[in-house]
Amino acid sequence: MTDAPKDIEALIDIMARLPGLGPRSARRAVLQMIKKRGQLMRPLAETMMRVAETARECLNCGNIGTGDLCPICADDRRANGQICIVEDVADLWAMERGQVFAGRYHVLGGTLSALDDIGPEDLRLPRLMDRVTTETVTEVILALNATVDGQTTAHYIADMFTGSGVSVTSLAQGVPIGGELDYLDDGTISAALRARKAL
C-alpha cells in the first residue's frame, strides 16, 4: 500500500495494530522513527526487546514486574491488610500515580461481561480468595470502572465476601476535583448529591 520496502510495510502493519494507532498514524510514526533512527528508533527497538524478554506477570497479583513477584507484592511494608481490586494494570498505575494507597493490589484482568462471555473463571478471582486468607486481608477496596460491567463485577466480588468478616469498600463517586457541574452527566451529579457530606 505504500510502495515502501517490505520491512517498512511490515513495521507499519504491526504498529497499526497497537491501540490508539491506525494505519495513518502508524505511517506517520514510522516515518518519524526513520528520520530519527539514532535517537528514537534504535533505543525504542532495544528497550522493547529488553521488556519483551524481562516483563512478567506477578504470580500473586497480576501486576507487571520482572520477577515472580512484582515490586509491590515483594514489599512487606505494603502488606497492610488492604487489597485494592483493579481491572487492569493501567488502572493500578493510575492508582499509584495518586500516591495515596499504601496497600497491595489485585489485577482482575478484565470484568465480568455477559456480552463478551467473560465469567468469573476467566478473571483472577480464585487467587483473590487465597490471598485474603494468606495475607490476612481486612479490607477489599474496589477500584473498578464505573461502567455496567465494572459495577456488575463489583457486586459479584462484594457477594463473594458476604459473611467472611472482610469489609468490602468502593471508591467514592462524585464530582471530580476541578470539575464543573455544568459539564457533568446527570448520573454523576445525582450520585454526588446522594453521597453529600457535612462540611
Q: Which chain residues interact with its own copies by CB under 8 A?
A: 1-5, 7-8, 10-11, 14-15, 17-21, 25, 27-34, 37, 40-52, 54-55, 64-66, 71-72, 88-90, 92-93, 96-97
**CB nearer its own copies, residue 15 or residue 192:** 15
Least separation in angstroms between CB 12 and its own copies: 9
Question: What does the radius of gyration of the chain's CA atoms come to, in whole angstroms?
Answer: 21
C-alpha cell at 138: 481486612
**CB nearer its own copies, residue 107 or residue 142:** 107
**CB nearer its own copies, residue 66 or residue 133:** 66
Least separation in angstroms between CB 41 and its own copies: 4
Q: Write 157-162 long-range contacts (CB < 8 A, 24+).
A: 157/85, 157/125, 157/128, 160/125, 160/128, 160/129, 161/132
Sign of CA dihedral 144, 149, 153, 156: positive
**CB nearer its own copies, residue 89 or residue 154:** 89
Strands 104-107 and 139-142: unpaired
